[in-house]
């Protein structure tokens, strides 16, 4: 509170301070020393000097006596002088404030002589101690309020401060008035804080009445009242308030008054209930939100978002580096020698190596011979034919040149060198293209990661409270819980004992609290008995797989390979590769393609870039290694399915009432540098089965019609049985002789049983 500013908030603080001074002066009316302790706390915290002093002096009016007034004036003068001195020096009070406090309170011992000096010394010591209890309590009550989190010691001090004020109010106005005030506070705490905390509030409020009556009945009474109101607090504000009123009436009628009903008691009980019911809901909710907010660990959450922002910035920077590398390799394409460049240089070398050594060269030079354009045309013909002969030379050239055989010999030698340079140039270009693709892929992945990290986590305080309440209700104890929205889904992070994780109670409790299935996706040990875990929503659907294979007769190794890969928590990839031919060479080709695709998908590269890179890698191989590829990715949350077919036969989607064909038309991987895969997207249904197969199976059936007719006869929903039946049928059609490697991969989508 600034000293020189006067606002409505300043006035409100003055009113509250005056009320507290009056209440505390009643507790020790002989000395008024408790209200002096509160006044000292106001001065220490630099509240308005004039209004704080005025509030203190007004408090002296209760059971007014001149000695008390003189003692209060001395206290006020001491504090005003010390406050002005420190204000002028622009310094805050330190440990020396104890000395000022002692000096300011000595007046109460000097002017009031009704008791022995030891009584005043004890009172003085208690008052000094209370100053340092009232300072943190006043800070919480008048400065922090509901806007800042209080420390444990501050809350203890506030509890003592509250008890002292309540005791004074009971002395001044009677226990019934204070009970009515407490009922309002109890209801307010129930609807703005956790149940356990409202019970603590009621316990603190019951201490002053217990001290007044010198028995524990008020503690029991307040506990029963709070518990009765809590029972229906989740259902209705009105029901909870009336339950509290009914319980209060029963206790008042049958216990407190021994059957004698006093009308004023009814007024004191009904008034707080009515006031609470008419308290604006927005005010109650705003206080509740503030209390929830101050319990949040904002600094750690800010630190997490700050780290995410830093990582995002770094990732963007690294992404730009790889993007620049990609652009550089694009520019380097122009540095690779073209056919035109090489043929032009061949023409120059013919002139240098043959013509300049010819005795007729000076004469030819004067006649601008040999004609460069003509020489380039003849060399181009030789390059196209891989060899040049006499018939490829122009008539004019043979008539002009006297050393035709030497020219032919030189050109053929240069054509041989040309072939090697073209091959080297193509390999260099392919290598640069592959590195460019890799740079593009890394840049894309880093950019996507940077974008994800650039988004601040949206922490969900209400979800945290819901989960915390649900776990506590089920007897699960945890250290911390934090919830935030990630890709429009709830992500829960917890620190909890391993016992609750291992026995399955935690996930069961989370599922019951949220109403849907969840799973632990990450677990990190914090200590031997405690772990930090991440929980996410589990997809309601799952997949079962079946694979049936048969190696070509006469081969020891199948050229067909497959992959079943989990990309993330709700998405999987299946791939079936058919290396052209059979045996070890075909197996190496297909397994290499499968491994690369699997790794690139896990890394987060786009499908188009993945297939282009794998195609380029296979095409760089000097052997004619080709591979047909069938790829399927399925999202188990929304059942979207993406098919990519590269030289692979048709696939099928089986449902209860339909069979859908997925066809492809592109060439296998590794044949052409430029790849155009066939792809399509569709949405699967629960119970659907996807069937992928290699050409060993499709060729055995002969046509898709025959294959579909056989699929219609399959009743079993087990994907392994479907795969086995398809393979056995194909073998029967080929009279149990596998003309090629045969593979069937079946995937069935089903709803998980909770």
Give the residue among 61, 40, 213, 224 at the shortest CA–CA distance from 132.
Answer: 40
Of the pLDDT bands very low, low, confident and very high (cuts 50, 70, 90), residue 580 is low
Long-range contacts of 197-205 (CB under 8 A, 24+ apart): 198/226, 198/230, 199/223, 199/226, 199/227, 199/230, 201/226, 202/226, 204/159, 204/162, 204/163, 205/162, 205/166
CA distances from residue 67 to 108, 113, 283, 291, 313 in whole angstroms, order as listed = 8, 9, 45, 45, 71
Of the pLDDT bands very low, low, confident and very high (cuts 50, 70, 90), residue 37 is confident
Does the CA dihedral 100-105-111-115 come out positive or negative? negative
Give the residue among 640, 601, 651, 594 at the shortest CA–CA distance from 618.
Answer: 594
Q: Say whether pLDDT at 586 is over 70.
A: no
CA distances from residue 665 to 225, 374, 662 in whole angstroms, order as listed = 78, 45, 11
CA neighbours within 13 Å on the CB side: how many for 1? 28
* pLDDT value of position 112: 57
Measured CA to CA, the distance from residue 650 to residue 665 in angstroms comes to 9
DSSP string, 414-432: HHHHHHHHHHHHHHHHHHH
* pLDDT value of position 668: 53
Cis peptide, bond prior to residue 135, ω within 30 of zero: no
DSSP string, 538-600: PPSEEEEEEEEEEPPTT-SS-SEEEEEEEEETTEEEEEEEEESSSSHHHHHHHHHHHHHHHHH
Instruction: Report the Cα 440 to chain-centroid distance in Å.
Output: 27
Beta strands in 618-727 (DSSP E): 627-635, 640-646, 651-654, 659-662, 678-683, 689-693
Task: Specify the higher pLDDT residue, 181 or 426.
Answer: 181
Q: How many CB atoms lie within 10 A of CB 121?
A: 11
Structure token digits, residue 83? 């406050």
> Which residues, listed in sequence order, are joined to residue 723 by a DSSP beta bridge?
none
Please provide the average confidence, as pLDDT, over all residues in the chain: 78
Give the residue among 79, 87, 69, 130 at the shortest CA–CA distance from 103.
Answer: 79
Measured CA to CA, the distance from residue 27 to residue 172 in angstroms comes to 9
List the single range of 215-224, 427-436, 484-493, 742-751 with lowest mean pLDDT. 427-436
Q: Say whether pLDDT at 68 is over 80.
A: no
Q: Where are the domains of the chain?
A: 1-173, 175-295, 299-454, 458-537, 541-751
Strands 640-646 and 627-635: antiparallel
* pLDDT value of position 205: 92
Q: Answer whether 572's CB lies under 8 Å from 633's CB.
A: yes
Measured CA to CA, the distance from residue 257 to residue 138 in angstroms comes to 37
Q: Answer whether 741's CB lies under 8 Å from 558's CB.
A: yes
CA angle (95 as vertex; 90, 97 as ends), nearest 5: 70
Class in CATH terms, 458-537 = alpha beta
Q: Say whether pLDDT at 682 is over 60.
A: yes
Give the residue among 65, 30, 34, 36 at the shortest CA–CA distance from 53.
Answer: 36
Q: Answer whether 17's CB lies under 8 Å from 98's CB.
A: no
Lay out the sheet containing 640-646: strands in order across: 560-568, 571-579, 627-635, 640-646, 678-683
Q: Answer whether 98's CB lies under 8 Å from 1's CB.
A: no
Strands 651-654 and 689-693: antiparallel
- Please list, in sequence order, all residues whose beta carbon lies within 8 angstroms of the beta carbon of residue 399, skipping any fewer than 6 positions away: none
Measured CA to CA, the distance from residue 397 to residue 402 in angstroms comes to 9
Summarize the confidence of residues 655-683 as an average pLDDT: 69
Query: In 3-state terms, what secondary structure has residue 690?
Result: strand
* pLDDT value of position 532: 86
Summarize the confidence of residues 512-533 as an average pLDDT: 86
Q: Answer whether 629's CB lies under 8 Å from 648's CB.
A: yes
What's the first-to-final CA gap in the chain, in angstroms? 58
Measured CA to CA, the distance from residue 96 to residue 669 in angstroms comes to 85
Give the residue among 197, 240, 202, 196 at the shortest CA–CA distance from 219.
Answer: 202
Q: Say whether pLDDT at 652 is over 80.
A: yes
**SS3 track for 283-300:** HHHHHHHHHHHHHCCHHH
Measured CA to CA, the distance from residue 736 to residue 729 in angstroms comes to 9
Dihedral-angle region of residue 56 (phi above 0 means left; psi in -120 to 50 means alpha; beta otherwise): alpha
* pLDDT value of position 329: 47
Of the pLDDT bands very low, low, confident and very high (cuts 50, 70, 90), residue 622 is very low
pLDDT in tens, 593-618: 677 677 666 666 666 666 666 666 65
**Percent of the chain predicted with pLDDT > 70:** 74
Task: Specify the higher pLDDT residue, 295 or 574.
Answer: 574
Measured CA to CA, the distance from residue 604 to residue 573 in angstroms comes to 12
Query: In 3-state terms, what secondary structure has residue 633?
Result: strand
Structure token digits, residue 211? 């001290």
* pLDDT value of position 206: 92
- Please list, in sequence order, all residues whose beta carbon lies within 8 angstroms of the beta carbon of residue 668, skipping any fewer than 6 positions away: 580, 626, 627, 628, 629, 646, 647
Summarize the confidence of residues 574-601 as an average pLDDT: 69
List the single range of 180-184, 258-262, 460-464, 623-627 with lowest mean pLDDT. 258-262
pLDDT in tens, 523-545: 888 788 888 888 888 888 888 99
List the single range of 167-176, 316-325, 361-370, 494-503 with lowest mean pLDDT. 316-325
Q: Could you identify the residue written with the tokens 């929980």? A: 535
- Please list, in sequence order, all residues whose beta carbon lies within 8 angstroms of the beta carbon of residue 534, skipping any fewer than 6 positions away: 491, 492, 493, 520, 521, 522, 523
Class in CATH terms, 541-751 = alpha beta
CA distances from residue 393 to 361, 379, 461 in whole angstroms, order as listed = 19, 9, 87
Of the pLDDT bands very low, low, confident and very high (cuts 50, 70, 90), residue 335 is very low
Range of 57-61, 320-324, 727-731 with top mean pLDDT = 727-731
Measured CA to CA, the distance from residue 695 to residue 443 in angstroms comes to 37
Burial status of residue 318 (CB atoms within 10 A of its CB: 0-12, 13-18, 19 or more):
middle
């Amino acid at each position: 509170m600034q000293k020189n500013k006067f606002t409505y908030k300043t006035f409100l603080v003055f009113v509250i301070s005056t009320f507290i001074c009056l209440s505390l002066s009643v507790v020790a009316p002989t000395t008024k020393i408790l209200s002096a302790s509160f006044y000292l706390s106001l001065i220490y915290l630099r509240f308005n000097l004039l209004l704080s002093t005025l509030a203190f002096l007004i408090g002296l009016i209760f059971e007014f006596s001149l000695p008390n007034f003189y003692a209060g004036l001395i206290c006020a003068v001491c504090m005003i002088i010390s406050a002005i001195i420190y204000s002028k020096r622009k310094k805050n009070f330190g440990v020396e404030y104890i000395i000022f406090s002692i000096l300011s309170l000595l007046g109460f011992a000097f002017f009031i002589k009704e008791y022995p000096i030891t009584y005043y010394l004890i009172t003085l010591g208690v008052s000094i101690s209370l100053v340092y209890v009232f300072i943190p309590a006043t800070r919480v009550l008048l400065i922090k309020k509901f806007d800042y989190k209080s420390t444990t010691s501050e809350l203890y001090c506030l509890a003592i401060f509250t008890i002292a004020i309540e005791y004074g109010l009971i002395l001044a106005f009677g226990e019934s008035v204070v009970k009515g005030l407490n009922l309002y506070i109890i209801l307010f705490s129930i609807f703005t804080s956790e149940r356990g905390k409202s019970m603590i509030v009621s316990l603190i409020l019951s201490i002053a009445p217990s001290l007044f009556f010198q028995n524990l009945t008020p503690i029991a009474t307040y506990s029963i009242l709070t518990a009765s109101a809590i029972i229906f607090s989740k259902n209705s504000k009105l029901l909870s308030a009336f339950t509290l009123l009914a319980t209060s009436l029963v206790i008042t009628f049958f216990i407190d008054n021994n059957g004698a009903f006093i009308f004023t008691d009814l007024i004191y009980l009904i008034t707080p209930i009515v006031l609470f019911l008419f308290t604006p809901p927005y005010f109650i909710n705003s206080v509740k939100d503030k209390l929830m907010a101050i319990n949040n660990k904002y600094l750690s959450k800010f630190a997490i978002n700050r780290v995410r922002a830093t990582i995002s910035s770094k990732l963007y920077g690294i992404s730009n580096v790889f993007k620049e590398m990609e652009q550089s390799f694009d520019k380097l394409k122009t540095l690779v020698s073209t056919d035109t460049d090489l043929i032009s240089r061949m023409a120059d070398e013919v002139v240098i190596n043959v013509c300049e050594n010819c005795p007729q060269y000076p004469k030819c030079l004067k006649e601008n011979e040999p004609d460069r354009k003509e020489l380039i045309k003849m060399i181009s013909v030789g390059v196209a034919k891989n060899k040049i002969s006499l018939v490829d030379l122009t008539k004019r050239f043979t008539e002009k040149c006297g050393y035709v055989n030497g020219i032919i010999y030189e050109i053929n030698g240069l054509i041989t060198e040309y072939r090697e340079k073209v091959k080297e140039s193509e390999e260099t270009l392919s290598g640069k293209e592959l590195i460019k693709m890799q740079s593009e892929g890394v840049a894309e992945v880093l950019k996507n990661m940077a974008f994800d990290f650039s988004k601040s986590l949206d922490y969900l305080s209400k979800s945290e409270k819901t989960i915390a309440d649900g776990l506590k209700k089920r007897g699960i104890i945890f250290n911390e819980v934090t919830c935030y929205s990630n890709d429009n889904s709830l992500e829960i992070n917890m620190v909890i004992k391993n016992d609750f994780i291992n026995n399955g109670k935690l996930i069961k409790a989370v599922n019951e609290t949220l109403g849907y299935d969840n799973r632990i996706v990450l677990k990190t040990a914090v200590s031997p008995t405690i772990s930090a875990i991440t929980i996410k929503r589990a997809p309601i659907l799952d997949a079962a797989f079946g694979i049936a294979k048969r190696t070509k007769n006469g081969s020891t190794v199948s050229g067909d390979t497959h992959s079943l890969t989990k990309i993330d928590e709700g998405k999987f990839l299946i791939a079936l590769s058919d290396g052209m031919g059979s045996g070890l060479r075909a197996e190496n080709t297909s397994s290499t393609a499968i491994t690369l695709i699997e790794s690139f998908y896990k890394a987060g590269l786009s499908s188009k870039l993945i297939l282009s890179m794998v195609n380029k890698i296979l095409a760089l191989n000097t052997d004619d290694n080709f591979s047909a590829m069938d790829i399927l990715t399925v999202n188990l949350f929304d059942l979207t399915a993406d098919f990519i077919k590269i030289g692979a036969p048709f696939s099928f989607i089986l449902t209860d009432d339909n069979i859908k064909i997925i066809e492809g038309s592109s060439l296998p991987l590794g044949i052409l540098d430029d790849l155009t895969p066939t792809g399509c997207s569709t949405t699967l249904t629960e119970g659907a089965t996807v069937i992928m197969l290699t050409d060993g199976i499709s060729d055995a059936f002969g046509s898709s019609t025959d294959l579909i007719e056989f699929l219609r006869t399959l009743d079993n929903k087990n994907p392994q049985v479907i795969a086995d039946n398809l393979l056995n049928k194909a073998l029967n059609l080929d009279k149990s002789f596998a003309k090629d490697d045969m593979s069937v991969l079946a995937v069935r989508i089903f709803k998980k049983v909770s």
